[in-house]
Structure 1
């Protein structure tokens, strides 16, 4: 049963990392290359779509990591799992305090109601997102290392 929990947790966190990596290094570059109104509308749509899914994914991943740490408390590699959990907690806190407020504004913008500084706000979101991606990549690497 522990092996199944380890694999399921690693896969779910890994796929989350892949999605967030893709947002940072693929989707945002595609959207930013579009004409102004299209770029802003694309970011708003992405904010609505991923803003609905990612909280469940982040919290679910964290719950699975905690379950793994508890179930494997006396096993080799548990310290790595706990460290991964700490990084995921930091990513959730970072999301709630820094990224979600910007995303909540962005997802309601249209070309008619967006603020004058919308590009600067999205740029700030992107910088924080790069930091969050680094955290969750590190957490994923720790989980994979715990399997070895």
Structure 2
């Protein structure tokens, strides 16, 4: 049971890391290069779609990590699982305090009605997102090492 839980956790967190990494490194930079601010519509749509899905993915990952930590308690790799889970908790706190407020605003924007500082706001979201991606990549790495 513990091995299955460990593998499922690594896969779920790994997929989440992949999505978030792709958004940070590929998707948003490509959208930002579209002419005439056409990337704004895509960012707004992405904020709505991913804004509905990612909370469940993040919380689900924390729950999987916590359950794995309980099963692993006192055993080899338990400290890695606890540290990885703590990093996921940090990523959730960062999301709620830093990213969600901006994302909620972006989700309501269209090219017909955006604030004058919209580029600064999405730039700020991107910078916070890079940090969050670093945190979840580290969590994933710790989970992977604990699995082996």
TM-score past 0.5 threshold: yes
Tell me the equivalent position of 1:75.
75
1:119-141, CA deviations, whole angstroms, 9 ceiling, x for partnerless residues?
Answer: 00000000000000000000000
Secondary structure of 2:38's counterpart equals helix
**Is 2:131 the partner of 1:121?**
no
| 2:17 aligned with 1:17 | yes
Cα distance in 2 for residues equivalent to 1:146 and 1:90: 19
The CA deviation at 1:74 is 2.1
Unaligned stretches of 5+ in structure 1? Answer: none
Number of matched residues?
A: 148
Deviation at 1:29, TM superposition (A): 1.1
Counterpart-to-counterpart distance in 1, 2:51 and 2:31 = 17
Structure 2 portions without partners, runs of 5+: none
Please give the TM-score of this superposition, normalised by the length of structure 2.
0.98
Q: How does the TM-score come out when normalised to structure 1?
A: 0.98
Runs of at least 4 residues of structure 1 off by over 4 A?
none
RMSD value over aligned CA atoms? 0.7
